[in-house]
Amino acid sequence: MKAKTVKANWSLRTKKFSLPSVFLLCIFFFLAGFFGFSFFHHSQEDEYGVRVRLLEKSVKDETEHRLLHAGKSGDNFITSIPFQVLSWNPRALYFPNFASAEQCDRIIEMAKAELSPSRLMLREGETEEGTKGIRTSSGMFISASEDKTGLLEVIDEKIARAAKIPKTHGGAYNILRYKVGQKYNSHYDAFNPAEYGPQESQRVASFLLYLTDVPEGGETMFPFENGSNMDSSYNFEDCIGLKIKPLKGDGLLFYSLFPNGTIDPTSLHGSCPVIKGEKWVATKWIREQLHYDV
């Protein structure tokens, strides 16, 4: 009698799960698994992707600004200059489309007739003959005050805002041309007083404005980026480490000094040999003292 009862109950239960019911249950579990996986996948998304989305959101959503009352030397407008942090060691920032193609062409035309072989600042005991081959470009110097067109004054103003250092700390532009095979071995823009003697005004930062595309070679390189290659095996000629490809109109800002005024050892940099094309670049050194021209 009990067996019949059990059999009857089991038969009753199986009747409740008809084919449509089983089909719906399958769909339910499939959807639950799918959404569960999606949730888990997004929750595991790396921090870099999340940060990029947040930054993009802040740029798109920030359409209005509340202006404060500026001081006598301040601005009554918001300045937006896009940039990318390439490295914190050294502190290197990349500015895409910093200048227009027309502006770059005009700067090259200013410099063409005045080029001469680039020179080096010599350490005690060094000679020009003994340092040949370290820097093989040609160049010239021109300040914004010498440019009657006003173009360099405009670039000066933009560099000051990018670097957050007044333009009165910037020197003249060193306009440089690198032909195929020409390069500049790794060096520091700041001068170590122990090697070069006391400095009246130290170079705090450098801004490079690339005036041409370079099809191959000519990268600006930082071989000690993030502490790499900082041993006696590096010979100052190898083109290794962080490398920035020159693109016409783009800018590169890097700092040679720490905030405490000491030289950042990872700011060692050079210009890789040009393999194809020709490299033109306008370099501005930003110094710690006011109104220092070169």
In terms of phi and psi (left: phi > 0; alpha: psi -120 to 50; beta: otherwise), the region of 19 is alpha
**Short-list 162, 165, 177, 169, CA closest to 96:** 162
Give the span between the Cα atoms of 43 and 39, in whole angstroms: 6
pLDDT band at 6 (very low <50, low <70, confident <90, very high): very low
pLDDT in tens, 182-223: 999 999 999 999 999 898 899 999 999 999 999 999 999 999
Confidence of residue 8 (pLDDT cuts 50, 70, 90): very low
- pLDDT band for position 9 (50/70/90)? very low
pLDDT of residue 122: 87
Percent of the chain past pLDDT 70, that is, above it, reads 77
Residue 240 has pLDDT above 70, yes or no: yes
Alpha-carbon distance 41 to 202, whole Å? Answer: 51
At residue 294, does pLDDT exceed 50?
Answer: no
| Distances in whole angstroms, Cα of residue 49 to Cα of each of 35, 44, 54, 160, 281 | 21, 11, 9, 31, 33
User: In terms of Cα–Cα distance, which of 91, 90, 294 is closest to 201?
Assistant: 294
Query: What is the average pLDDT score of the chain?
Result: 85
pLDDT digits (tens, 9 = 90+) for 52-92: 555 555 555 555 778 999 999 999 888 899 999 999 999 99
pLDDT surpassing 50 at residue 2 = no
Give the pLDDT of residue 290: 75
What is the enclosing helix (H) or strand (E) of 178? strand 170-178
- Please tell me the predicted confidence (pLDDT) of residue 232: 84
CA torsion sign for 14, 19, 25, 30 is positive
**Residue 290 DSSP SS3:** coil
Using the predicted structure, report yes or no on whether residue 14 has a pLDDT greater than 60: no
Pairwise pLDDT comparison (53 vs 45), residue with the higher score: 53
Q: Where does the pLDDT of residue 157 fall: very low under 50, low under 70, confident under 90, or very high at 90 and above?
A: very high
> Is the pLDDT assigned to residue 24 strictly greater than 90?
no
pLDDT recorded at residue 227: 96
Higher pLDDT, 240 or 127: 240
Provide the strand spans (E) within 180-228.
184-187, 203-210, 216-217, 220-222
Nearest to 286, CA basis, from 256, 261, 259, 265: 256
**pLDDT of the residue at 65:** 76
Q: What is the pLDDT of residue 51?
A: 56
- Per-residue pLDDT averaged across 127-147, rounded? 93
Q: Please report the domains of the chain, with CATH numbers, ordered by start residue.
A: 88-121+129-287 (2.60.120.620)
Q: Is the pLDDT confidence value at 272 over 60?
A: yes
